[in-house]
């Protein structure tokens, strides 16, 4: 018996030492070449070469095995070989990143074909897909089109974050049921997790790791190999509109999440290099941090182009990058791409130049490349080389170089050290920029510089295995994307992200078949973040049908045992009032974190930064001006509901996109919860006691707007925090569970003063 057992590994060894077995497997419009001693090859039109008993794709169709076609060689060697073979047009095409494209059907549109063939683009930003199988089939058609082009370079399809609700509490009535069935009606067929700020609210690195592993598996099933994430900006100013997309204002928490997120997305288990056919490139953003816009204004608009540093704290904003995304614990080592933000990092360049980060040789060349030795792909944020009209419109964002020509803008990006232009096409303009480089530095320098970017870009395509097999199974996409396991994990993360701030006398949980009243929420007409008119409407944030699954729904406070009121954090405007009769040139305005009227009597008299070729003044102060949030009715709704309910409890749920001043609603709430991108089911599971609150505040909630004005845009956790009627202070890493204030390993690690972090 022992003897025969010993023979088994010998036989296995003999089989392993034998020849490479190769077979062809036709599947779903393409063919797989399986081999026992090499990677599977997927092809539609490229010839297959057999060299030394191994199979290779002859993408160049020259009957020979080129270095870039040899999967036995490392990615950098292959990339260097391929870059040397590219024409100028092909290199410039690699250095372009398409605007968003949709996959509503598997077929390619004329626009898709033009981007791939005419502009030689190989980086497609995928927005909407009809179904997982449609998205996979569309990706396969993109790859088949690319394969038949000269040299057969596959497309590195990418995505903005797509596994979240839109950051409110009323969009996703979706929950895995105990019997294993689930109803994804009304949502995309993909696992749903909290928004980034909600993920941060878990303070749980196991949640972050599961998110990265599962979402990246869904991406690969859809044919997506680059994530335009994570957004690791330290959200040091609480008024920033993109706060919800960050991992908090704390540098240590942002750093730790960045490490785990990127590592989980990029790693193929069992790979010697960490890279492989399960890897998804991470394009970490936004270097060197976009969370310190003056007055909280956002740099998508010219009115928010300046990031300022009144606390002299520029260096701390780099921590999530230099100590996080650029120092991964595993084999992939660093995020494979990075995106600078639109902002001008005002006053940071020793030369005195103030230009957008994507144009700045200091920010990209001196800091990112030279000081921090980053050698991955640098891709600009979308649209920085486009023209723009006026500071209050979102068109192009060429901050600091507004008067340069189209080619000069691109040249300045390349001179700074940029490899790719986000949201750009028009290959001919990039070739003009190349000619400008030739004129300034010489023909040899131009070719070397552009080949260098091509190499960096190609490495990320090689690392993810696309040259071997870029094709995916539409059938498997339907099985993987939004599968029960991933959906359940996402829902668990939603539950863990809910933060309970207040719970008077243990009013929660509300278990049992109680009677509940939910008031109608009125939303006034207003403007979207992109300054588009939005209509007024009325809604029940939680549908009566869903609420009825948990409680008996009644129509009046007098009938109810308790009330639940779902509102949004203050939807302040964007810090600017467009030209009007009273102010023909327009004026800057405060961004408020309270619902009711706020007058900025303590704002700066003179702005730190300012000026634009299309502005007559460089002073962007908003002192003395008044702002009222467009959803001021939300605070009134909370008050009126409590007055109507009397002594009976009112549960208030705030869908939080950024910090808010609780003073207008907290006194009227018996229980107060905050959420960031969770389903209504998750809210009701917490309220009913099916799950216990676990989340912690990923930000400070300010006592008032005066402390918001007094804080420094570049300094995190520097506000006086709100203290509620129960004596609890709504500071960073605060939260309640059924037993009281949470005090565990998470709070021990992250609640400490920032000074203890050594920064």
The 10s digit of each residue's pLDDT in 551-570 is 999 999 999 999 999 999 99
Residue 162 belongs to a domain: no
With CA atoms as reference, report the closest residue to 175 among 679, 512, 546: 679
Cα separation, 235 vs 289, whole angstroms:
8
Phi first, then psi, for residue 308 (nearest 5°) are -125, 160
The 10s digit of each residue's pLDDT in 640-661 is 999 999 999 999 999 999 999 9
The 10s digit of each residue's pLDDT in 373-407 is 999 999 999 999 999 888 988 889 999 999 999 99
What does the pLDDT read at residue 168? 33
Tokens for 154, please give them.
């596959």
What does the pLDDT read at residue 171? 35
Cα separation, 422 vs 224, whole angstroms:
17
At 174, is the pLDDT very low, low, confident or very high (cuts 50, 70, 90)?
very low
Cα separation, 705 vs 595, whole angstroms:
11
Residue 578 belongs to a domain: no
- The arithmetic mean of pLDDT across residues 188-208, rounded, is 93
Contact 264, 208 (CB under 8 A): yes
Who has greater pLDDT, 607 or 174? 607
Contact 172, 165 (CB under 8 A): yes
At 530, is the pLDDT very low, low, confident or very high (cuts 50, 70, 90)?
confident
Task: Kindly report the length of the chain.
Answer: 759
- The arithmetic mean of pLDDT across residues 461-482, rounded, is 97
Residue 726 belongs to a domain: yes
DSSP classification of residue 568: E
What does the pLDDT read at residue 755? 52
With CA atoms as reference, report the closest residue to 608 among 166, 233, 262, 310: 310
- The arithmetic mean of pLDDT across residues 494-507, rounded, is 98
Whole-angstrom CA distances from 184 to 56, 175, 592 are 42, 8, 36
At 2, is the pLDDT very low, low, confident or very high (cuts 50, 70, 90)?
very low
Q: Which residues contact 311 (CB under 8 A, 6 or more apart)?
A: 712, 713, 714, 715, 718
Cα separation, 501 vs 696, whole angstroms:
9
List residues bridging with 125 in a β-sheet. 100, 158
Residue 28 belongs to a domain: no
H or E element that contains 14: helix 2-16
- The arithmetic mean of pLDDT across residues 449-468, rounded, is 98
Q: Is the peptide bond before 523 cis (omega within 30 degrees of 0)?
A: no
Phi first, then psi, for residue 24 (nearest 5°) are -105, 135
125-129 and 100-103 strand pairing:
parallel
3 state DSSP class of 364: helix
Tokens for 147, please give them.
């394969």
Domain count of the chain? 1
The 10s digit of each residue's pLDDT in 719-754 is 999 999 999 999 999 999 999 999 999 999 999 877
Residue 236 belongs to a domain: no
What does the pLDDT read at residue 6? 37
Phi first, then psi, for residue 553 (nearest 5°) are -85, 130
756 conformational bin, left if phi > 0, alpha if psi -120 to 50, beta if neither: alpha
Checking if the pLDDT of 9 tops 50, the result is no
DSSP classification of residue 359: G
Cα separation, 578 vs 588, whole angstroms:
9
Contact 199, 253 (CB under 8 A): no
Q: Is the peptide bond before 288 cis (omega within 30 degrees of 0)?
A: yes
Give the domain extent around 709: 486-527+545-572+630-757
Alpha-carbon torsion (450, 263, 422, 153), positive or negative = positive
Kindly give the residue spans of alpha helices, DSSP state H, lying in 330-463.
Answer: 406-416, 427-441, 443-463
SS (H, E, C) 267-320: CCCCCCCCCCCCCCEEEEEEECCCCCEHHHCCCCCHHHCEECCCCCCCHHHHHH
What does the pLDDT read at residue 175? 53
Contact 317, 329 (CB under 8 A): no
What does the pLDDT read at residue 5? 41
* Surface-to-core class of residue 525, CB atoms within 10 Å of its CB (0-12 exposed, 13-18 middle, 19+ buried): exposed
Checking if the pLDDT of 606 tops 70, the result is yes
> Percent of the chain beyond pLDDT 90?
89
Place of tokens 């070729």: 613
Contact 195, 245 (CB under 8 A): yes
Comparing 163-172, 202-211, 535-544, the range with the smallest average pLDDT is: 163-172
List residues bridging with 672 in a β-sheet. 502, 652
Strands (E), 524-644: 526-527, 533-534, 537-539, 552-554, 562-568, 576-577, 587-588, 598-599, 626-627
- CA 367 from chain centre, in angstroms, equals 23
Indicate the average pLDDT of the chain: 93
Contact 161, 242 (CB under 8 A): no
Cα separation, 734 vs 711, whole angstroms:
20
3 state DSSP class of 669: coil
Checking if the pLDDT of 637 tops 70, the result is yes
Nearest 10 degrees: Cα torsion 595, 601, 606, 608: -40
Contact 652, 672 (CB under 8 A): yes
Cα separation, 641 vs 650, whole angstroms:
8
What does the pLDDT read at residue 10? 38
Checking if the pLDDT of 281 tops 90, the result is yes
What does the pLDDT read at residue 572? 82
- CA 533 from chain centre, in angstroms, equals 25
- The arithmetic mean of pLDDT across residues 342-358, rounded, is 98
Contact 340, 288 (CB under 8 A): yes
Residue 330 belongs to a domain: no
Cα separation, 648 vs 668, whole angstroms:
11
Checking if the pLDDT of 757 tops 90, the result is no
Contact 681, 569 (CB under 8 A): no
Whole-angstrom CA distances from 361 to 340, 349, 364 are 12, 9, 5
Residue 659 belongs to a domain: yes
What does the pLDDT read at residue 17? 59
Kindly give the residue spans of alpha helices, DSSP state H, lying in 317-442.
Answer: 319, 406-416, 427-441
Q: Which residues contact 404 (CB under 8 A, 6 or more apart)?
A: 398, 412
At 533, is the pLDDT very low, low, confident or very high (cuts 50, 70, 90)?
confident
H or E element that contains 688: helix 680-688
- The arithmetic mean of pLDDT across residues 1-7, rounded, is 36
What does the pLDDT read at residue 176? 52
Nearest 10 degrees: Cα torsion 474, 476, 479, 481: -70
With CA atoms as reference, report the closest residue to 588 among 574, 602, 576, 600: 576
Residue 730 belongs to a domain: yes
Checking if the pLDDT of 626 tops 80, the result is yes
What does the pLDDT read at residue 28? 86
- The arithmetic mean of pLDDT across residues 619-643, rounded, is 97
Checking if the pLDDT of 179 tops 50, the result is no
DSSP code string of 454-472: HHHHHHHHHHTTTTT----
Tokens for 668, please give them.
């009227």
Rounded to a whole number of angstroms, the distance between the first and last alpha carbons of the chain is 65
For 633, half-sphere exposure in the C-beta direction (CA atoms, 13 angstrom radius) is 14
CATH of the domain at 686: 3.40.50.1700
162 conformational bin, left if phi > 0, alpha if psi -120 to 50, beta if neither: alpha
Helices 132-147/110-117 angle, 10° precision: 40
What does the pLDDT read at residue 653? 98
Note the pTM of the prediction, 2 decimals: 0.94
- The arithmetic mean of pLDDT across residues 522-529, rounded, is 83
């Amino acid at each position: 018996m022992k003897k025969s057992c010993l023979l088994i590994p010998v036989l296995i060894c003999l089989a392993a030492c034998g020849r490479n077995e190769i077979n062809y497997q036709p599947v779903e419009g393409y063919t797989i070449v399986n081999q026992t001693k090499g990677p599977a090859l997927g092809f539609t039109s490229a010839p297959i070469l057999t060299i030394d008993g191994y199979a290779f794709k002859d993408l160049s169709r020259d009957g020979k095995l080129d270095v870039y076609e040899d999967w036995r060689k490392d990615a950098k060697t292959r990339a260097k070989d391929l870059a040397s073979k590219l024409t100028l047009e092909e290199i410039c095409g690699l250095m372009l990143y398409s605007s968003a494209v949709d996959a509503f059907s598997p077929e390619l549109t004329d626009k898709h074909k033009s981007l791939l063939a005419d502009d030689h683009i190989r980086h497609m930003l995928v927005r909407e897909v009809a179904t997982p199988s449609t998205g996979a089939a569309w990706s396969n058609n993109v790859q088949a089109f690319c394969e038949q082009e000269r040299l057969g370079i596959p497309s590195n399809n990418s995505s903005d974050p797509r596994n979240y609700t839109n950051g409110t509490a009323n969009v996703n009535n979706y929950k895995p049921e105990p019997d294993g069935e689930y109803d994804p009606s009304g949502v995309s067929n993909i696992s749903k997790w909290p928004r980034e700020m909600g993920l941060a609210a878990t303070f749980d690195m196991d949640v972050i790791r599961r998110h990265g592993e599962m979402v990246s598996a869904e991406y690969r099933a859809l044919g997506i190999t680059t994530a335009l994430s994570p957004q690791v900006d330290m959200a040091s100013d609480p008024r920033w509109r993109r706060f919800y997309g960050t991992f908090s204002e704390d540098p240590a928490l942002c750093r730790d999440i960045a490490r785990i997120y990127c590592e989980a997305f990029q790693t193929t288990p069992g790979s010697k290099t960490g890279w492989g056919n399960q890897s998804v490139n991470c394009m970490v953003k936004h270097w060197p941090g976009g969370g310190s816009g003056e007055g909280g204004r956002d740099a998508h608009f010219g009115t928010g182009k300046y990031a300022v540093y009144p606390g002299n704290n520029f260096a701390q904003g780099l921590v999530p990058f230099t100590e996080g995304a650029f120092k991964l614990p595993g084999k992939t080592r660093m995020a494979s791409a990075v995106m600078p933000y639109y902002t001008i990092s005002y006053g940071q360049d020793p030369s005195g130049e103030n230009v957008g980060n994507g144009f700045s040789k200091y920010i990209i060349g001196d800091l990112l490349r030279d000081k921090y030795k980053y050698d991955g792909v640098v891709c600009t944020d979308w649209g920085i080389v486009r023209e723009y009209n006026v500071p209050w419109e979102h068109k192009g964002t060429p901050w600091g170089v507004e008067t340069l020509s189209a080619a000069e803008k691109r040249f300045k990006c390349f001179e700074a050290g940029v490899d790719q232009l986000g949201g750009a096409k028009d290959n001919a303009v990039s070739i003009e920029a190349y000619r400008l480089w030739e004129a300034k530095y010489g023909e040899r320098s131009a070719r070397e510089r552009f080949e260098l970017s091509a190499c960096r870009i190609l490495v990320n395509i090689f690392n993810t295995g696309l040259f071997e097999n870029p094709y995916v199974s539409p059938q498997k996409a339907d099985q993987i994307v939004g599968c029960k396991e991933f959906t359940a994990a996402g829902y668990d993360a939603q539950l863990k992200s809910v933060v309970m701030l207040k719970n008077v006398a243990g009013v929660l949980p509300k278990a049992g078949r109680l009677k509940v009243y939910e008031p109608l929420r009125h939303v006034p007409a207003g403007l979207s973040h992109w300054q588009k008119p939005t209509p007024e409407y009325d809604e029940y944030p939680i549908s009566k049908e869903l609420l009825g699954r948990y409680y008996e729904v009644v129509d009046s406070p007098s009938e109810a045992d308790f009330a639940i009121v779902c509102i949004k954090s203050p939807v302040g405007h964007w810090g600017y009032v467009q030209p009007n009769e009273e102010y023909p040139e327009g004026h800057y305005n405060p961004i408020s974190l309270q619902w009711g009227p706020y007058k900025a009597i303590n704002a700066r008299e003179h702005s730190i930064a300012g000026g634009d070729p299309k502005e007559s003044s460089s002073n962007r102060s908003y002192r003395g001006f008044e702002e009222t949030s467009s959803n001021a009715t939300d605070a009134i709704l909370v008050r009126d509901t409590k007055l109507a309910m009397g002594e009976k409890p009112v549960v208030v749920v705030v869908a939080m996109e950024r910090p808010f001043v609780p003073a207008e609603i907290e006194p009227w709430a018996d229980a107060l919860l905050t959420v960031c991108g969770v389903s209504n089911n998750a809210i009701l599971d917490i309220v009913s006691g099916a799950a216990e609150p676990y989340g912690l505040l990923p930000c400070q909630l300010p006592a008032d707007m005066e402390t918001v004005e007094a804080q420094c845009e570049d300094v995190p956790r520097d506000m006086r925090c709100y203290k509620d009627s129960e004596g609890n202070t709504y500071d960073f890493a605060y939260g309640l569970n059924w037993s009281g204030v949470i005090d565990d390993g998470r709070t021990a690690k992250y609640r400490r003063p920032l000074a203890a972090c050594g920064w």
